[in-house]
Chain A
């Protein structure tokens, strides 16, 4: 059996968890088994119906009111006791902030290894095989596991969602016993800036600016584009972040975030090797740069050799027109 952890943030099921569940369903078919899903939290029944369409045969709800505060320690405890009981051969998490924080705790407790941030999975000779970028995508390693369960986190935005089905499976609710005084660390608050857009790792479109933006004030131009484009977020190159023009959480590249959106728009980004490592798995890349020799053009599907400040206003108008249709 394949088990997929479904992440809930601020009362909502993470889309990337549904991607992981969809991939779990595809591998379950290869293995001639079923895929099940597990929630950890409090009062989650209503969310289960959002998850069944993506192929889960069974949904486990691990309940305790203390789970309303995320803690890797208590979540791992709940997951490990379920894993020991139902013995899945494969376990997937989404490689979100929570998935990356929780999965190693679970695997260490089980004494098995973990493959992080995988971008493809397959079954060969009855075993899971995963591929993951290393050196931020400068190389790809394909791995197999020597222990069971085979546990991986899957990169968001890479795995397609399954075609929704109408079948409803079984819900199994389990009350988890926790000792509150044994939980040594827990999340107490999520602080979101007013009007904060999506994270670059989750966005379907990333609008990114580099040194060619010339200064912090010009990032408003990119913000205007993200306001027009649905499911978009703003990215930046390291030089723009290091210059203090924009917060580092927007940084794309080897010491920033690795992204694979459907569309990556690069404005005034030359394309240093460490930047390319973080974005060249994007499905479509557009580069706007004054310098025709900029390395970014070597990876771009479409390039415009021009001053970005002259292009953006026109681009805005054209996008508005097309997206209104």
Chain B
């Protein structure tokens, strides 16, 4: 994903975001997911595999996961431009897991991408693999073949109990992701990242066709700078409350 300081420019003719000049990084939510996986490995044992679906550039993201401490990484090569269609992405991920990582206890995701902002993939993958899901998780406990997760809902936390294997999507607050060490970075450089092609996944062409079509892409409606209220704090406060009540009519 492009880092959050990026300005987004749009190619109106192609109905797409211009990717040139954007700085692609591991999404912050994905960082929480990787960190949680590493912590679980440290306390419970096991192995951490990082998977990314995308073009060659995704290698950088996977190297970062390896440098943080993941045992191995897999790149699923997909050269399609962003379709904003999570169904397609979820089928690819579910099928990759089935074929390449059949033995697993937990699939961890970021709670959403920072871009498409769909927040759909973890749940769809859970459905395709017939697994329970807990999304937007800020606390996770695993005990044997059972887990308890706390997920953010409106103004509260929802406590969810589930059996493993399961799908978890990470929210800010779950943990504090570690920085890569120099040693980790050096080791990651040497590690080979196997590439899986869509052809290897036995997904029909029909199945991979996006079912959403973008008909328009535009910038947000511009907001004009409004009035600056002058005067001493007491006077300004009085004026603004009056404007909010009588002009904007919002209080």
Contacts and interface: CB of A to CB of B under 8 A. Distances in A.
Interface stretch (B39-47, B85-93, B194-202): B85-93
A300 B226 contact: yes
Contacts of B88: 113
Nearest to B225: A298
B56 interface: no
Contacts of A241: 172
Contacts of A251: 172
Interface stretch (A26-34, A43-51, A193-201): A193-201
Contact of A254 (B114, B237, B238): B114
Given A97-B151, A191-B157, A140 B220 contact: yes
Contacts of B117: 116-117, 132-136
Contacts of A168: none
Interface string A173-190: 000000000011111111
A134 B115 contact: yes
A246 B119 CA distance: 24
A22 to B, nearest CB: 19
B136 to A, nearest CB: 7
Contact of A199 (B4, B5, B154, B219): B154
A199 B152 CA distance: 10
Interface string A263-282: 10000000011100100110
Given A108-B128, A140-B217, A186 B161 contact: yes
Interface in A96-146: 96-98, 100-101, 103-105, 107-109, 111-117, 129, 131-146
A72 interface: yes
A318 B238 CA distance: 6
B211 A184 contact: no
A311 B236 CA distance: 8
Contacts of B74: none
Contact of B120 (A97, A114, A139, A274): A114
Contacts of B153: 9, 96-98, 190
The A interface is mostly helix, strand or loop, or mixed, namely: mixed
A262 interface: yes
Contact of B211 (A97, A113, A199, A319): A113
Main secondary structure of the interface of B (DSSP, over half): mixed
A114 B7 contact: no
B96 interface: no
A135 B158 contact: no
A101 B4 CA distance: 24
A107 B87 contact: yes
B14 to A, nearest CB: 12
Contacts of A255: 4, 28-29, 114, 172
A324 interface: no
B105 to A, nearest CB: 13
B187 interface: no
Contacts of A211: none
A301 B243 CA distance: 10
B135 A141 contact: no
A143 B118 contact: no
A104 B166 contact: no
Contacts of B132: 71, 73, 183-185
Interface stretch (A59-67, A83-91, A213-221, A302-310): A302-310
Contact of B114 (A96, A135, A283, A314): A135
A186 B90 CA distance: 22
A81 interface: no
A60 to B, nearest CB: 22
A302 B226 contact: yes
A139 B10 contact: yes
Contacts of A107: 87, 120, 124
A249 B124 contact: no
A186 B166 CA distance: 12
A134 B2 CA distance: 12
A165 interface: no
Interface of B: 2, 4-8, 10, 15, 17, 28-29, 84-88, 90, 114-121, 123-124, 126-128, 131-136, 150-163, 166, 171-173, 209-220, 223, 225-229, 233-234, 236-238, 240-245, 248, 250-251
Interface of A: 9, 70-73, 76, 96-98, 100-101, 103-105, 107-109, 111-117, 129, 131-147, 183-193, 196-199, 201-202, 205, 229, 233, 241, 247-249, 251, 253-256, 262-263, 272-274, 277, 280-281, 283-286, 292, 297-307, 310-311, 314-315, 317-319, 321-323
5 contacts: A185-B162, A285-B223, A302-B228, A303-B226, A303-B227
Q: Which 8 A-B pairs have the closest CB atoms?
A: A185-B132, A185-B162, A314-B237, A184-B132, A104-B123, A97-B153, A301-B226, A199-B154
